[in-house]
Structure 1
Amino acid sequence: MTDTAFTTLFSPLDLGPFSVSNRLIMGSMHTGLEESPKHFGRLAAFFRQRATGGAGLIITGGVAPTDAGRAMPGGAAMLTEADAEQHRIIPEAVHEVGGRICLQLLHTGRYGFHPNIVSATDAQAPISPFPPRALNDDEIQAEIEGFARAAQLAEQAGYDGIEIMGSEGYFINQFTSPALNRRTDDWGGSAENRQRLAIEIVRAIKAAVSDRFLLIFRLSLLDLVPNGTPWSEVEQLAHRLVEEGVHVLNSGIGWHESRVPTIASMVPAAAFREATAKLRQTVSVPVAVTNRINRPEQAEDLLSAGTADLVTMARPWLADADWGRKAGTGKADEINVCIGCNQACLDHIFQGKPVTCLVNPYALQEDRYSRQPAVQSRRVAVIGGGVGGLSAAVELAERGHEVHLYERGAQLGGQFLLAARVPGKEDYRYTLRYYEQRLQHLGVSVHLNAEVTPEQLQAAGQHTVVLATGVRPRVPDLPGIDHGMVVRYDQLLRGDRAPGTRIAVMGAGGIGFDVGEFLLHCDAPVTATEAFLSHWGIDASGANPGGLIHPQPQHAARKITLCQRSDEKPGKRLGKTTGWIHRLQLRTGGVQHLTGIQYERIDDQGLWYTDARGDSRCLAVDQIVLCTGQESELTLQDGLLRAGLEVHTIGGADKAAELDAKRAIRQGLEVAVALSA
């Protein structure tokens, strides 16, 4: 059965060498498992599950075609017949369930993290500690031969095709873009010369593989760096690639060194669609659209509007392995939607950790968690309706336990509900929708506005309790803390208190930055595509070279000061791959920082503090927002234990520190597994 709401999305498409059953591409993303064949069994199971879940075509994480192209020492590469043989288990697993899978060939060039990196020039990338070596003509030819050999090995391994990574500032893009290629030989200068590497790679690959082998090229439509590729050259290269036999063009948006967000949560859905639509009008092969597409209605709209022929999504398949199956069978509301947080995927990669997913801790961790029904069914009370409690309730019910979920408020969601009110984090509400759907489907008894007691639980015959009561904001012991201008962050985000005009935010952790962005954009949102593009200075039409124009930041006319007691760089502990965005947002909005201070008191004049030199000063404000940490909400714990109940504490109730939804959701799963053994 196919959902008639998404008829275009689930229509077949002829790609040349073969047809796909739908328009869904699971895009390439590095998982951290590609480097060692001992993990290929896990990768095979991961991709097989996504093929079963409705991905029409899968593209693997990037694999280097040459030794110099590795992302890191020992990084994934396809160099020998032994490599091909070790890979064989992956396409076989996908083919067993009727799926199709391509290997991505990714040469990192100057983006590599090892001393043997190479590029068009010796210009060092700002995101790598190593300077590259500029290749001579013979060395370039050797890299081209490496691509051809890797493609041949990929076909030998059983892959259905390859995707050549020609965008995002990697090796090929380093040659094609005038932003970096300043060579004066036959590999630089004119557009034709700068495109020569891409063209000769495709020619060499076509000569090395069969006609049944699919060739996708990921083309940089918008470099989003100064002096980037003009649209005329993008179009010229696209036509040349098609003439050489490329079957599909995939959209590439932005270089990794670009100072423009392209996949983080604040990026509107398909914000760069105009560039893809423009490309599709000029070429004769299927074109795929990508970047921040996470729901089927978005995908269907893009296809039916003629923006593209295919939709590429990567992280949404981490969040829900059954994304396609659910969308195609009338269960779109049950999709566990990717929220674009980066916290367990990209952040993990840049921290050297295996990838998983904040909203789906099963992702690439399936071998750790048993899905078997409980050995013995229990009656379990889950106290607290934040994401930790929601995770525990759903996972317990999945395993056959009788679950009662108690939430003292009128809504489920806890701190996640507050996060969804921060401009740019609106998609967080879909996580709550997913859990609410699962609770209803599994028959979990949900009790709202419920101040439960140990006696009530005993009377109901419940002896096992998951305490997921979360946190409460910490209120510092400070003279004047009860002044009328003082407001807690939760009161502000809920709308219980209106924002002021001259504001001191006490605390510059993750919540402090969220509050700063809320104050800047709650009255001047940049979540609509047009506003977002203008705010960041993006020309999605490609009329300006590289897609950059002069930014026109939009923010509320408030004077905001972020205050912190430590003297470290504000926002130092924010997410590895998104922290720079939040810091830039606040700097663009004129937010000031006070670091290394000691709070003294609050009075009618404002916030008094002692600066780093020991001088007493007053910050004149009309509102002070407390983001001074959290405390575990454990009011019930002692009573539960005294009553002899079995108590398992998770989430913020277990550890308040900086709020960590990833840990809370994972602990909800882990406690369900433990109670089912």
Structure 2
Amino acid sequence: MKYSKLFSPIKIGSITIKNRFAMAPMGPLGLADANGGWNQRGIDYYVERAKGGTGLIITGVTFFDQVVEKQDPSTVPNPLYKPVNFVKTSREMTERIHAYGSKIFLQLSGGFGRVTIPTNVGDIPPIAPSAIPHRWLDKTCRAITVDEIHAIVKQFGEAAFHAKRAGFDGVQIHAVHEGYLIDQFAISMFNQRTDEYGGSLENRLRFAKEIVEEIKKTCGDDFPVTLRFSVKSMIKDWRVGALPGEDFEEKGRDTEEGLKAAKLLESYGYDALDTDVGTYDAWWWNHPPMYQKKGLYRGYCKMVKEVVDIPVFCAGRMDNPDMALEAIENGECDVIDLGRPLLADPDYCNKLRCGKITQIRPCISCHEGCMGRVASYSLLNCAVNPQAARERVNAYEPILKKKKVLIVGGGVAGCEAARVLAIRGHQPVVYEKGSRLGGNLIPGGAPDFKEDDIALADWYTNELNRLGVHAHLNTELNEEEIKAMDYDTVILATGSKPKVFSLGDDSHTYTAEQVLLKQKDAGKKTVVVGGGLVGCETALWLAQNGIHVTIVEALDKVMAVNGPLCAANKEMLEALLPFNGVEIITGAKVTEFANGEVKVDTKEGSKTIMSDSVILSVGYKEENTLYNNLQFDIPDLYLLGDAKKVSNIMYAIWDAFEVANHI
């Protein structure tokens, strides 16, 4: 079997993991009960990934501090809030996970410090090693005291004790990574102390050293303690991160110091380093959007592996099995972390082990269902998998009678509805007017950095074929044809159309979709009207292909109306545009396009831009004509996707799942 090496066992401290895959820690927002334990959603969520073949489950961050940086116990689990409840609920989870031969580590947080996200942790005073600026709030943090450091260290030992009692196989410390509190101590930019916790690298790592020593003293040397570790910070300045390929002066931890830190952390007793790069000031490194290349940490992990003798984990868009295998064979890492890919498909490992690669549902790195919802609503979900963290609530409903279901439209909503209906035992048939399934995934996936949109469209095509769903392509139905057909239920997922208007030269005015599909040539210079997500991504793609692009946006900033868009995605795209030479004019309106001249009304007055074309990206309009004409003729009729309301991929899939699961 080609990927057999990915399924060879490996030791982490005293325990053996059955394969080389770990579930990367992702914040378990919405998975806790009010008493600091796991709710049923949390238990089901982690068990499902163990059932899917993952060798090691690492929970997302759990808090425990009851002294310095108190957290709402209903935000994430907390082993010290009510230890009996934590142990009781954890036992149910760990015992079920062990039934599948998987191991599970509890990730313990030393605190957020200057990077507290207000919507997640409530109204608490921000702390830090020193009086430094907060990452998000217009506040100066309070310097933590030595006694408070000692209190946190002691609580680490107590929390790990309860984790061990609850059946966890080890713990992961959160973290000398991403700029969290312990990392703030480790980075000289943030740590301006003059006591034993500041100054030299050894002093700045003293907090991390005392933590592992306390846990080993409490739980024994045979209880594995791993560490989430960022080898390089990627900080240009306060709240300003570097871009891939950018020449900059590192203000945080540089690679040289990172490798020294790795060796010290091993000497302190850590059993493995779960390695990445970045900080909250350069958030698009730790939470890589689609604009980051796949496997972006591999080189850094290899450098760490060359200086330590403990296992090194590598995350960072490692969902390509060939890339994962190559990383293991090249000695770049020992374990592959899968975070968002296991949100998208909990059965990733089992499918790969059996060679069913085309059945693995791809993550599209959109962050909409995970980090976007975590930051906005304190809920962890997945855009492409409506069952993620809702495994029991969204389990497939049994059917009493098979129904024939007509689905008009083969975009994501139509495909998801057909998939769910077929799995449940109904008989769906899809009619799509285009030449392939996928709808807006096809133009959306045209840029190189959106390759996973195409992968998702291909996945739907393969799944419907595997499930025996007949898809009629290049076939557009009208209302009379639909009324004449014999179906129990009709779903209309007829999508949307780009909004267009005339500026004068209609022959050189195109939609973003036409340009993305290469139906129209934008020329050497173009103006994109509209700075939403589609307009910005189109502009970036064109600029990366040597075209001079100007974005004209009516609002005061680009991407003002997209959400919940994760800060990592939004901030990286905003930074990439000028980095690639895209000019941006906000608070402006295009009034005319003629003879290669684009007239723009700006706050400073009228402006003329020479351009070969104008690309309209001002939104979409629901294509719901069929529904309006049929709504009084068909009893069991549903409207889904953009045809119902123009939105994003996530809500198209989620709504389709909800409806199709209850027909």
Query: Same-fold call, TM > 0.5?
Result: yes
Determine the C-alpha separation between the residues in 2 that align with 1:429 and 1:175: 43
In structure 1, the partner of 2:487 is 462
The 10-residue stretch of structure 1 (466-475 or 8-17) with the greater mean CA deviation from structure 2: 8-17
SS in 1 for 2:577: helix
The 10-residue stretch of structure 1 (498-507 or 321-330) with the greater mean CA deviation from structure 2: 498-507
In structure 1, the partner of 2:619 is 629
Determine the C-alpha separation between the residues in 2 that align with 1:519 and 1:638: 38
Structure 2 residue corresponding to 1:428, chosen from 445, 453, 458? 453
For structure 1, the residue ranges without an aligned partner over 5 or more in a row are 524-555
In structure 1, the partner of 2:127 is 118
For structure 2, the residue ranges without an aligned partner over 5 or more in a row are 236-249
Q: CA RMSD in A?
A: 2.1
Shift of 1:420: 0.8
Shift of 1:517: 1.2
In structure 1, the partner of 2:54 is 55
TM-score (norm 1): 0.89
Change (3 A) 1:564 1:135: closer
In structure 2, the partner of 1:190 is 200
> Could you give the per-residue CA deviations for residues 135-181 of structure 1, whole angstroms, max 9, x where no partner exists?
23222222211211111121122211100122111111111122222
In structure 1, the partner of 2:151 is 142
SS in 2 for 1:404: strand
Determine the C-alpha separation between the residues in 1 that align with 2:101 and 2:509: 60
1:175 matched to 2:199? The reply is: no
In structure 1, the partner of 2:651 is 663
Please list, as runs of the form range in 1=range in 2, the aligned pairs for 1:208-219 lying within 5 A after superposition.
Answer: 208-219=218-229
Contact 1:64–1:70 (8 Å) recurs in 2? no
Identical aligned residues as a percent? 29
Please list, as runs of the form range in 1=range in 2, the aligned pairs for 1:113-512 lying within 5 A after superposition.
Answer: 113=118, 114-165=123-174, 166-225=176-235, 226-258=250-282, 261-262=285-286, 263-476=288-501, 478=502, 480=504, 483-512=506-535
Determine the C-alpha separation between the residues in 2 that align with 1:457 and 1:283: 66
Counterpart amino acid of 1:464?
T
SS in 2 for 1:258: helix
Change (3 A) 1:366 1:85: closer
Shift of 1:392: 0.7
Change (3 A) 1:514 1:229: closer
Shift of 1:332: 1.3
In structure 2, the partner of 1:594 is 585
In structure 1, the partner of 2:241 is none
Counterpart amino acid of 1:219?
F
Shift of 1:369: 2.2
In structure 2, the partner of 1:540 is none
> Could you give the per-residue CA deviations for residues 344-395 of structure 1, whole angstroms, max 9, x where no partner exists?
1001111024111111111112233241332221111111111111101101
Contact 2:197–2:206 (8 Å) recurs in 1? yes
Determine the C-alpha separation between the residues in 2 that align with 1:452 and 1:249: 57
Change (3 A) 1:376 1:506: same
Counterpart amino acid of 1:372?
E
Counterpart amino acid of 1:571?
M
Shift of 1:34: 4.3
Determine the C-alpha separation between the residues in 2 that align with 1:599 and 1:326: 51
1:33 matched to 2:30? The reply is: yes
Shift of 1:124: 2.2
Change (3 A) 1:78 1:267: same
Determine the C-alpha separation between the residues in 1 that align with 2:529 and 2:635: 39
Structure 2 residue corresponding to 1:650, chosen from 633, 640, 652? 640
Determine the C-alpha separation between the residues in 2 that align with 1:608 and 1:228: 45
Counterpart amino acid of 1:633?
E
Contact 2:543–2:581 (8 Å) recurs in 1? no
Determine the C-alpha separation between the residues in 1 that align with 2:177 and 2:256: 16
Identify which of structures 1 and 2 has the higher relative contact order when contacts are C-alpha pairs closer than 8 Å and 6+ apart.
1
In structure 1, the partner of 2:242 is none
Determine the C-alpha separation between the residues in 1 that align with 2:601 and 2:547: 27
Determine the C-alpha separation between the residues in 2 that align with 1:71 and 1:470: 47
- Paired positions, count: 632
Contact 1:12–1:21 (8 Å) recurs in 2? yes
Determine the C-alpha separation between the residues in 2 that align with 1:246 and 1:598: 57
Contact 1:348–1:354 (8 Å) recurs in 2? yes
1:563 matched to 2:552? The reply is: yes
Counterpart amino acid of 2:127?
V
Contact 1:202–1:241 (8 Å) recurs in 2? no
Change (3 A) 1:457 1:298: same
The 10-residue stretch of structure 1 (301-310 or 61-70) with the greater mean CA deviation from structure 2: 61-70
Shift of 1:455: 4.0
